[in-house]
């Protein structure tokens, strides 16, 4: 059987731009994200360029990563940037306090990160240290990276091999300062933000967007206090929301689940909408014209770590369910494109809802990677209004609309429509009226698999991968699509 859904897409109207930056990524010194995942060092037998794995770099290049956040996460508020510059053999070894107390050699530091961003064509999004650092340390870091004149710090950068200053478009003033970033109350952090931000200056024509630490999920009070005490002095504020089921103390597994956990996790990810709504309520009061950006700079599914791996490394598999979770969540960001201008899924390699997993010299692309690759069509595209009627999908008390859909028009005039069918077992016959669309050709790709928990392994890395989709017909402005059960389809009309 198939359910029936309808949609009207109005290509004759526009609702702003979908910033490519909501497709941002996050790389923390945590588990095997940086070391092993991205950085293996020049002397490694794993093919690399200046220490960065070639396979991972090439995969990320294809993803058109718009921005990359580093060095944390919790790690950021215990990170001192001077540890990560200069000759590698002279860099101090430090303990990664938050993540397993493992030794960090500091082989990957400011130069390695900013060079990687430059080669990827990604904007750098750094997180500064408020929890255990000082305002002058933060200020000096910015001068070191971005000043092009004659100063001790700019000259030190040159001595360390980088003549030209880098651009730093995004800079977080701390991370989760309500938790691992200092366990502060919002009133206290708001004052610290004002103080630290005073010293975060634009040097040499750089234009930094400072990002204040925002709420933990649905904590509306945090954003309220921040807006009352800082107001429009902050250009952006963050929000972190992870999908966790049923509870932090008792997280479900990344694979080996049934329909109950499928439905539960996908309905749980919809709570992103209310988390954004809570933050928007306070922001709208002081900033009705959306000058302050809401940056969802950590999001994704957080499961039990894989058996046999250390709990602190947050290593989890990634299944078809995660691709749908990402698709639904990205559609929520599109809906809020007037306020949500940056987002970073956690994390890019080997940690949480990763794009890429590695094992020694092996690498695989996860279903989430494929989703991000298919959704590239929405980067910086014009969002089109959509009216959607979808049947509900419900299983053991967990409910959500079966269909989630978003549409945009590219600079070249192509209308791209992404469709998620969350129903575990029913296809959806979607009839879509296209208002103001000239195109008469439709092509597409689909991401699906036989099993709900289908995933890629190092032995079978192509179990979940996009394939051509031929079940869409376009006739006199009507698009008829049979969207397979548990799938994501991306269509292009031109």
* Contact between 177 and ligand AHR per CB under 6 A: no
* Tokens matching residue 482: 């049979």
Contact pick of 266, 292, 346, 355 for ligand AHR (by CB under 6 A): 346
Residue 176 known to be catalytic: yes
Of the two residues 121 and 311, which places its CB atom closer to ligand AHR in the complex? 311
Of the two residues 265 and 474, which places its CB atom closer to ligand AHR in the complex? 265
Smallest gap from residue 251 Cβ to ligand AHR (A): 13
Region binding ligand AHR by CB under 6 A among candidate stretches 43-51, 66-74, 85-93, 231-239: 66-74
Binding marks (x or -) toward ligand AHR, 351..380, rule CB under 6 A?
A: -x----------------------------
Of the two residues 97 and 414, which places its CB atom closer to ligand AHR in the complex? 97
Q: Which of residues 251-310 bind ligand AHR (CB under 6 A)?
A: 298
Residue 152 known to be catalytic: no
Picking from 345, 254, 236, 351, the residue whose alpha carbon sits closest to that of residue 300 is 345
Of the two residues 28 and 219, which places its CB atom closer to ligand AHR in the complex? 28
Binding marks (x or -) toward ligand AHR, 121..160, rule CB under 6 A?
A: ----------------------------------------
Active-site entry in 143, 176, 268, 373: 176
Smallest gap from residue 118 Cβ to ligand AHR (A): 24
* Contact between 71 and ligand AHR per CB under 6 A: no
Q: Which residues contact 248 (CB under 8 A, 6 or more apart)?
A: none
The one-character DSSP state at 228 is H
* Contact between 444 and ligand AHR per CB under 6 A: no
* Tokens matching residue 249: 């103390």
* Contact between 466 and ligand AHR per CB under 6 A: no
Q: Distance between the two ends of the chain, CA-based, in angstroms?
A: 31
Region binding ligand AHR by CB under 6 A among candidate stretches 67-75, 87-95, 442-450, 459-467: 67-75
- Helix ranges, 270-391 (H): 271-286, 320-335, 367-374
Of the two residues 249 and 468, which places its CB atom closer to ligand AHR in the complex? 249
Active-site entry in 143, 261, 298, 373: 298
Smallest gap from residue 31 Cβ to ligand AHR (A): 9
* Contact between 28 and ligand AHR per CB under 6 A: yes
Give 188: exposed, middle or buried? Use CB within 10 Å, 0-12, 13-18, 19+. middle
- Helix ranges, 296-444 (H): 320-335, 367-374
Of the two residues 30 and 400, which places its CB atom closer to ligand AHR in the complex? 30
Picking from 494, 469, 493, the residue whose alpha carbon sits closest to that of residue 483 is 469
Smallest gap from residue 334 Cβ to ligand AHR (A): 23
Of the two residues 59 and 301, which places its CB atom closer to ligand AHR in the complex? 301
| Phi and psi torsions of 304, nearest 5° | -60, 145
The residues that bridge with 409 in the sheet, in sequence order, are 382, 415
Of the two residues 343 and 400, which places its CB atom closer to ligand AHR in the complex? 343
Contact assessment for residue 482 and residue 429, using Cβ atoms and an 8 Å cutoff: yes
Compute CA distances 233 → 142, 194, 287, 298, 459, whole Å.
19, 8, 11, 23, 52
> How wide is the angle at C-alpha 22 spanned by C-alphas 354 and 168, nearest 5°?
95
- For residues 138 and 81, what is the distance between their CA atoms, to the nearest angstrom? 9
CA dihedral in degrees (126, 130, 150, 84; nearest 10)?
A: -60
Smallest gap from residue 75 Cβ to ligand AHR (A): 6
Compute CA distances 260 → 255, 397, 424, 442, 493, whole Å.
13, 9, 10, 35, 35
- For residues 272 and 255, what is the distance between their CA atoms, to the nearest angstrom? 22
Region binding ligand AHR by CB under 6 A among candidate stretches 72-80, 102-110, 224-232, 327-335: 72-80
The helix or strand, by DSSP H or E, that contains position 252, with its residue range, turns out to be none
Region binding ligand AHR by CB under 6 A among candidate stretches 44-52, 70-78, 363-371, 400-408: 70-78
* Contact between 73 and ligand AHR per CB under 6 A: yes
* Contact between 74 and ligand AHR per CB under 6 A: yes
> How wide is the angle at C-alpha 12 spanned by C-alphas 6 and 16, nearest 5°?
95
Contact pick of 24, 31, 37, 72 for ligand AHR (by CB under 6 A): 72
Contact assessment for residue 397 and residue 265, using Cβ atoms and an 8 Å cutoff: no
Smallest gap from residue 206 Cβ to ligand AHR (A): 25
Smallest gap from residue 229 Cβ to ligand AHR (A): 22
CA dihedral in degrees (61, 63, 66, 71; nearest 10)?
A: -70
Contact pick of 78, 176, 322, 373 for ligand AHR (by CB under 6 A): 176
Contact pick of 48, 67, 129, 175 for ligand AHR (by CB under 6 A): 175
Interface contacts to ligand AHR, rule CB under 6 A: 28, 72-74, 175-176, 298, 346-347, 352
Q: What are the residue numbers of the active site?
A: 176, 298
């Amino acid at each position: 059987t198939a359910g029936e859904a309808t949609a009207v897409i109005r290509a004759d109207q526009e609702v702003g731009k979908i910033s490519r930056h909501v497709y941002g990524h996050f790389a923390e010194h945590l588990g095997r994200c940086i070391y092993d995942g991205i950085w293996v060092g020049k002397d490694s037998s794993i093919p690399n360029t200046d220490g960065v794995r070639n396979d991972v770099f090439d995969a990320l290049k294809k993803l058109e990563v718009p921005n990359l956040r580093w060095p944390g996460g919790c790690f950021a508020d215990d990170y001192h940037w001077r540890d990560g510059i200069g000759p590698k053999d002279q860099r101090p070894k430090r303990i990664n306090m938050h993540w397993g107390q493992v030794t960090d050699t500091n082989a990957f530091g400011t130069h390695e990160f900013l060079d990687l961003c430059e080669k990827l064509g990604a904007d750098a999004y750094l997180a500064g240290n408020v929890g255990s650092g000082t305002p002058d340390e933060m200020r000096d870091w910015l001068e070191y990276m971005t000043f092009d004149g004659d100063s001790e710090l700019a000259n030190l950068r040159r001595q360390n091999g980088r003549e030209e200053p880098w651009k730093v478009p995004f800079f977080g003033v701390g991370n989760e300062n309500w938790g691992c970033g200092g366990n502060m109350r919002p009133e206290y952090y708001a004052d610290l933000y004002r103080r630290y931000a005073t010293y975060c200056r634009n040097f040499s024509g750089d234009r930094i967007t400072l990002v204040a630490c925002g709420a933990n999920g649905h904590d509306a009070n945090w954003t309220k206090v921040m807006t009352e005490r800082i107001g429009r002095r902050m250009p952006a504020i963050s929000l972190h929301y992870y999908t966790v089921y049923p509870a932090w103390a008792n997280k479900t597994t990344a694979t080996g689940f049934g329909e109950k956990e499928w439905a539960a996790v996908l309905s749980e990810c919809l709570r992103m909408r209310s988390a954004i709504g809570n933050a928007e309520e306070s922001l709208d009061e002081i900033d009705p014209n959306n000058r302050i950006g809401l940056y969802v700079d950590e999001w994704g599914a957080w499961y039990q770590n894989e058996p046999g791996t250390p709990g602190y490394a947050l290593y989890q598999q990634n299944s078809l369910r995660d691709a749908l979770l990402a698709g639904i969540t990205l559609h929520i960001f599109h809906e809020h494109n007037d306020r949500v201008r940056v987002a970073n899924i956690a994390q890019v390699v080997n940690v949480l809802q990763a794009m890429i997993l590695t094992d020694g010299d092996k690498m695989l692309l996860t279903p989430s990677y494929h989703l991000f690759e298919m959704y590239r069509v929405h980067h910086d595209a014009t969002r089109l209004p959509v009216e959607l009627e979808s049947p509900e999908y419900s299983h053991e008390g967990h409910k959500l609309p079966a269909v989630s859909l978003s549409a945009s028009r590219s600079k070249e005039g192509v209308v791209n429509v992404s469709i998620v069918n969350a129903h575990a077992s029913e296809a959806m016959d979607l009839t879509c009226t296209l208002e103001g669309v000239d195109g008469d050709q439709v092509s597409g790709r689909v991401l699906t698999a036989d099993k709900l928990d289908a995933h890629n392994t190092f032995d079978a890395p192509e179990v979940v991968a996009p394939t051509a989709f031929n079940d869409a017909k376009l006739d006199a402005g009507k698009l008829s699509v049979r969207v397979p059960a548990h799938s994501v389809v991306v269509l292009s009309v031109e």
